[in-house]
Homo-oligomer: A and B are copies of this chain.
Amino acid sequence: MAAQQLTKNQSLVLDTLHHADGPLSAYTILDKLRDHGFRAPLQVYRALDKLLEFGLIHRLESMNSFVACAHPDHHHHHDHGVTAFAICEDCGQVTEMHDEAMEERLSVLAGKQHFKTEKTTIEIRGHCQNCTAE
């Protein structure tokens, strides 16, 4: 699949997320981009929607914020399978995790209910290794 050509706004938002060391809310992104001409939330949300669609970023439902995808190949749409996130409540770091066995398990669970899965959210809130070492 061909590399996705991003618009200026989309690139700015994606760069902002890449340079952040944790998830950012849409309004935080907006504030960081005011110097680049951003004035309104919609400018951010529209870019975020596209980046989500391209699979370049993830939305963390449990904290209404967004992170750049940890995958190496930023230049292609790709379907990760299910992604699980470990979110540290102390330092805000987010770790992206993939696991075949868990996908399989979820698939079985959904199958039992004859449920057709469109999107799966898995978010683990807790404390990362660094922040646990008191």
Contact = CB atoms under 8 A, between A and B. Distances in A.
Interface of A: 61-62, 84, 86, 88-89, 95, 97, 99, 101-102, 105-106, 109-110, 112-129, 132
A93 to B, nearest CB: 10
Contact of A126 (B61, B89, B118): B118
7 contacts: A61-B121, A86-B115, A101-B105, A102-B102, A102-B109, A106-B124, A120-B123
Given A102-B102, A102-B106, A105-B101, A95 B123 contact: no
Given A89-B118, A106-B122, A118-B127, 6 more contacts: A61-B62, A61-B123, A95-B113, A97-B112, A102-B102, A120-B124
A115 B99 contact: no
Q: Which of A86, A124, A127 has the most CB of B within 10 A?
A: A124
Contacts of A132: 114, 116
A97 B113 contact: yes
